[in-house]
Amino acid sequence: MRAAVYRTYGPPEVLKIEEIERPTLKTEDTDRVLVKVQYASVTPFDYLHRRGYLPVRPSNGLLRPKDHVLGVDLAGVVEAVGSGVTRFKVGDAVFGNCFGSHAEYVSVREKGLSLLPGNLSMAEAAAMPVAALTALQALKNVAQLKPGQTVLINGAAGGVGHFAVQLARAFGAEVTAVCSTANLAWVQQLGADHMIDYRSQDFTRNGKQYDLVLDAVAKRTYASCKSSLTKTGIYITENPLKPGTQMFQVLFALLTKDKRLGLHLASSNAEDMDLLRGMVEAGKLRPVIEKTYALDQIAEAHRHVEQGHTKGKVVVEVCQN
Ligand SMILES: NC(=O)c1ccc[n+]([C@@H]2O[C@H](COP(=O)([O-])OP(=O)(O)OC[C@H]3O[C@@H](n4cnc5c(N)ncnc54)[C@H](OP(=O)(O)O)[C@@H]3O)[C@@H](O)[C@H]2O)c1
């Protein structure tokens, strides 16, 4: 099968299109589904792994990557199911989260998948899973957001951020979105009640306070956001492993058991995937794709996302139906 492969850490040029062995479901893969991938998204996870970002090396290989195919989101068609799979059958159109979706076939745990929402294209569905799950779980599980609460989303125009704006609005919160000048009108259309241009205003110094500051792009620190929190307000960072001040503060907050700092890593969960599908079908949530690339252009897609200014999501077409 065709796949975008990286065998050494490095710049986007280390990615090559190769023919590699197609995965199969083994007898013990009872909860797994083999999916023929049509579209996958490109995320910061992909370029951080490709670069050999320090926090991922212990699990991904100290000197060179152990797994050679990136991609954590997919939309495609079920090719085969394990003996214990109950929610899907061969031929179902699905979307979900996995490891290794920048390849024509991938083996995915059943819990990572949901049926394709009826009102989304394959490309749109591939733009959703990890970014939307991240936003959903941060708001619903970590913050336990309630109607009427005030939320500030830093990085509101990105993959996680543009879902967070829509979800927070759907949960009945009053939403303040922080992004650059060019995206102000767009995040308002997504559902933000107030917008802040980070290029001309520092939200940590404007005297306003929020029940939740969701730092979707981990560009600020907990310390700098403390004055923006109400008495019971919390700060959530989506990148607790980011080396430097953020990681140091996270360690300090863990040691001091500071409950106002929410650390969050998204996890695969069938109920949450089905919840997202329901919200899309109810018209409360919609992915936005800035650009679609062919799999052959994977290096270019990485360069795009790595610039750090993606508007919504970037997807790659892995194979045509
Ligand atoms: N915790 C988890 O499980 C989990 C899951 C997924 C992702 N993540 C992490 O979450 C972070 C965001 O992921 P993502 O996919 O949303 O990234 P992304 O789509 O690449 O984020 C790009 C966005 O960042 C915004 N941005 C850039 N500089 C900014 C600044 N100084 N202030 C505010 N916004 C700024 C840009 O808006 P403008 O163009 O308007 O500047 C752009 O829209 C990454 O660190 C990723 O590793 C964590």
Number of domains in the chain: 2
Summarize the confidence of residues 281-298 as an average pLDDT. Answer: 98
Summarize the confidence of residues 73-94 as an average pLDDT. Answer: 98
Cα of 321 to ligand 1 centre, how many Å?
Answer: 31
Residue 119 shares a structural domain with residue 136: no
Summarize the confidence of residues 241-254 as an average pLDDT. Answer: 74
pLDDT of residue 146: 97
Write out pLDDT tens, residues 189-247: 999 999 999 999 999 999 999 999 999 998 998 889 999 999 999 999 888 777 777 67
Sequence-ordered list of residues with C-beta below 8 angstroms from that of 123, at least 6 positions apart, any chain: 38, 39, 75, 289, 292, 315, 317
43 lines ligand 1 (CB under 6 A): yes
Instruction: Give percent of the chain above pLDDT 90.
Output: 88
Beta bridge partners of 215: 154, 237
pLDDT of residue 143: 95
Would residue 307 count as lying in a domain?
yes
Write out pLDDT tens, residues 32-56: 999 999 999 999 999 999 999 988 8
With beta carbons less than 8 A apart as the criterion, state whether 101 and 72 touch: yes
Residue 153 shares a structural domain with residue 235: yes
The span from the CA of 122 to the CA of 137, in Å, is: 23
Model confidence at 261, pLDDT cuts 50, 70, 90, reads confident
Would residue 280 count as lying in a domain?
no
Best residue among 70, 98, 217 to mutate for probing ligand 1's pocket (most ligand atoms within 8 Å of CB) is: 217
pLDDT of residue 250: 74
196 lines ligand 1 (CB under 6 A): no
255 has a pLDDT exceeding 90: no
Give me the CATH number covering residue 50: 3.90.180.10
Residue 160 shares a structural domain with residue 230: yes
Q: Over the chain, what is the mean pLDDT?
A: 95
Nearest to 43 by CA among 238, 215, 214: 238
160 lines ligand 1 (CB under 6 A): yes
Would residue 269 count as lying in a domain?
no
Range of the domain at 251: 131-263
Would residue 162 count as lying in a domain?
yes
Would residue 273 count as lying in a domain?
no
Residue 171 shares a structural domain with residue 256: yes
Would residue 310 count as lying in a domain?
yes
With beta carbons less than 8 A apart as the criterion, state whether 96 and 112 touch: yes
pLDDT of residue 88: 98
Residue 179 shares a structural domain with residue 248: yes
Write out pLDDT tens, residues 262-286: 878 899 999 999 999 999 999 999 9
Would residue 270 count as lying in a domain?
no
Residue 248 shares a structural domain with residue 154: yes
Would residue 275 count as lying in a domain?
no
300 has a pLDDT exceeding 90: yes
Cα of 213 to ligand 1 centre, how many Å?
Answer: 14
Write out pLDDT tens, residues 144-201: 999 999 999 999 999 999 999 999 999 999 999 999 999 999 999 999 999 999 999 9
134 lines ligand 1 (CB under 6 A): yes
pLDDT of residue 307: 97
Give me the CATH number covering residue 169: 3.40.50.720
Which residue's alpha carbon is at the smallest distance from atom 11 of ligand 1? 217
Cα of 161 to ligand 1 centre, how many Å?
Answer: 7
Cα of 162 to ligand 1 centre, how many Å?
Answer: 10
pLDDT of residue 264: 80
Residue 116 shares a structural domain with residue 7: yes
Residue 94 shares a structural domain with residue 48: yes
